[in-house]
Structure 1
Amino acid sequence: MDEKGLKEKFAKLFDDPNRETFKIALNNLTGEYDDLEFKEQEIDEHILAKHILGIANTSGGVICLGIKEGDNGLTPIGLDDSSDSTDLKKKLSRYLPYNLDYEVHPIDFDDKELWGDIRNKSFKIITIEYTPENIPFLPMKDSRDYKKTDIFCRKNSSTTRCEYDDLQNILNKRISATQKYLNIDHELNELEILMKRTSPQHTLFYTINNPNFLKIISQFKEKKIKRIEKGLGIDGFDEN
């Protein structure tokens, strides 16, 4: 499968973690990537938090618990002792910043034949959002493996401490994202002015005194909406 096809399968798992998307992804994924991590069992929360931080600082992604990675590919062994997802998030919260956006999704399979070798097995999927306007994320407390001043990222399918170039890359992404949001704020402020100029009270005035100006303002408003749509990556806008 080409990289695009692989990303599509991975995206479905990220957007909607459930038994179907998990099985599809498992059949198409071959190993770890910068935005994808596999662990055989639940690991110490401070180590799991480190991987979440690294993925959040790099591009967002998914951590799959209950998957063994070996020379022959991925083996879904399931979790021997699956803790409550809420309890796991509570433990992770001691190490993760409050504005780091992630979720823990339990994936449990029953004994139906259609599940094949993942019947009666349990897994956890941790989805980590990418919010470049908030990076870098740092640990909230020290652990026996790192300090709260450490910054982690993903390189070569591994979580590692950032070096100078890695940190510069993270900061540049944050600056770029912040500038984008600032520009959008500016565009929305200008749209608000145009919307007021095409309000009913203004429309009546322009229709009587200067209909051509009203037409121009309306065209400006339509172009501004399209510009904002493009900047936000959305398909359409409904004024109503």
Structure 2
Amino acid sequence: MIYEYVYPKSLLHFIKNPSHESLKDLLLHNTGETDFLDFKTKWTEFSKMAKHVLAIANSGGGCIIVGVSQNDEGAIALTGLNEDDFLDKADIDNKLANLLPKYLKYRTEDFHYNKDQLAFSNKRFQVLIIEYDPKYVPYTSVVQRNELRYGAIYVRQGTKSLEATNDKLVEIILRKVQSGGSGVNEYTLKEHLDQLKELYEEMASQKDTEYGQFIAELIERKKERIRQLLDVLPEN
């Protein structure tokens, strides 16, 4: 995956090489929450977690570290997770699966330090590592639940995950183009056809609404992309 926008270097190193040592280095030399990094004292309501995942994925990738708190001045505390708050990876995946687009990739890593690790002694952390893929951004919310608004595009703005402004949407698209993620030949034929199939399925579930008209427009554009890929002229 592409993480060229992620900073600081300690975060980039951790994402590429998640280990006890790289997490320790990140937490000891961090610059606080950023567009690519979020801290949670413990797992919160999962629609809130999904909102942060969407925002980080749209902003360039990064991670959410659970077991760390940050105060208003930016200082962090390595609180760790107790046994009851340390969730099974499969449980995390199950709770997030229906809240996120299926093309958004993420994974959970577990970290448990032994008694010889000083400030980390006998503490547990869990980290959601979130990928950035220019082919699929911007990711939109697929459900309407609590803080999640269906169809909304979330981005990171410092320590917060907010709905994207027009300027932020332009930034996302420019980043996508610069990464080479918007080219016609970037997808395989099968990926194009799978996407077209999904659009038709989405269209079938819609009535005569503005959103349904939007999906219909996307179907026509996707069909044109496939014609271009196959060098097939449309029928007159």
Normalized against structure 2, the TM-score is what?
0.70
Is 1:178 the counterpart of 2:181? The answer is yes
Q: Show the counterpart of 2:152.
A: 150
CA contact (8 A) 1:78 1:121 kept: yes
CA contact (8 A) 1:60 1:128 kept: yes
Gaps of 5+ in 1: 1-5, 186-240
Q: Show the counterpart of 1:103.
A: 107
In the alignment, which of 160, 164, 167 is matched to residue 165 of structure 1? Answer: 167
Shifted more, 138-147 versus 82-91: the winner is 138-147
CA contact (8 A) 1:58 1:170 kept: yes
Q: Show the counterpart of 2:89.
A: 85
Q: Show the counterpart of 1:7.
A: 8
| Amino acid paired to 1:182 | N
Q: Indicate the SS of the match to 1:50.
A: helix
Q: CA deviation at 1:172?
A: 3.1
Give the number of the structure whose alpha-carbon radius of gyration is greater: 1
In the alignment, which of 116, 130, 133 is matched to residue 132 of structure 2? Answer: 130
Q: Show the counterpart of 1:221.
A: none
Q: CA deviation at 1:154?
A: 0.9
Q: CA deviation at 1:133?
A: 1.5
Q: CA deviation at 1:148?
A: 1.4
Alignment of 1:1-240 (within 5 A): 7-70=8-71, 71=73, 73-80=75-82, 81-111=85-115, 113=116, 115-176=117-178, 177-179=180-182, 182=185
Gaps of 5+ in 2: 1-6, 189-236
Runs of 4 or more, structure 1, over 6 Å off, are none
Q: CA deviation at 1:90?
A: 1.1
Normalized against structure 1, the TM-score is what?
0.69
Q: CA deviation at 1:183?
A: 7.8
> Residues 183 and 149 from structure 1, CA distance in 2 versus in 1: closer, same or farther, beyond 3 angstroms?
closer
Whole-angstrom distance in 2 between the partners of 1:180 and 1:141: 28
Q: Show the counterpart of 1:201.
A: none
Instruction: Give the paired residue count.
Output: 179
Q: CA deviation at 1:159?
A: 0.8
> Residues 183 and 143 from structure 1, CA distance in 2 versus in 1: closer, same or farther, beyond 3 angstroms?
closer
> What is the CA RMSD across the aligned residues, in angstroms?
2.2
Q: CA deviation at 1:156?
A: 2.5
